[in-house]
Amino acid sequence: MNRLIKTLLIVLIATTSALAQRGQEAMGRIHAAKMAYITDRLHLSQRQSSNFIPLYNEYEKEVRSTRMFFMGKYKGTHPNDVDDATSRKYIDDNLDYQQSVIDLKRKYNDRFLSIISPQQLADLYIAEREFRQILLKRLNSQQRPGRYR
């Protein structure tokens, strides 16, 4: 019996590890595709690209950290399962999250503008939105088997 439990535990750990690794690989591919899309969309020169990409990665990491903090506060809760006070707190926290993202954009604006032009910076925000829409369409089409693409 003890052997069976150990074996099941090892299989569970191995499976969880494999799934996590696959998820990280997928995220890496998505990030690479996003960077290629943005670089192409902004028509970055080689010099701009070599300076922009590390700064953008830093910016993206801060935005992701802010998002994960906000999402972590409400992980496991469903809007239908909470009272009005909790819903109100969620609304306020969501506005604070959105403000934090705006503050990060303002923080990075001058740093981005030392590398790219104002037009390229405006295009960056458009390109991010476009890439997100493309990604969502692709994910939705993969989740609907049997439909024409």
Residue 103 predicted with pLDDT over 60: yes
- Look up the domain containing 98 and give its range: 46-115
7 pLDDT tier (thresholds 50, 70, 90): low
Does residue 18 lie within any of the structural domains? yes
Report yes or no on 147 lying in a domain.
no
Closest listed residue to residue 127, CA positions, set 34, 54, 24: 34
What's the total number of domains in the chain?
A: 2
Residue 17 has pLDDT above 70, yes or no: no
In whole angstroms, give the CA distance from residue 27 to residue 20: 11
Q: Is residue 146 part of a domain?
A: no
Q: Is the dihedral of CA 96, 133, 127, 123 positive or negative?
A: negative
Q: What is the pLDDT of residues 39-58, one digit of tens each?
A: 999 999 999 999 999 999 99
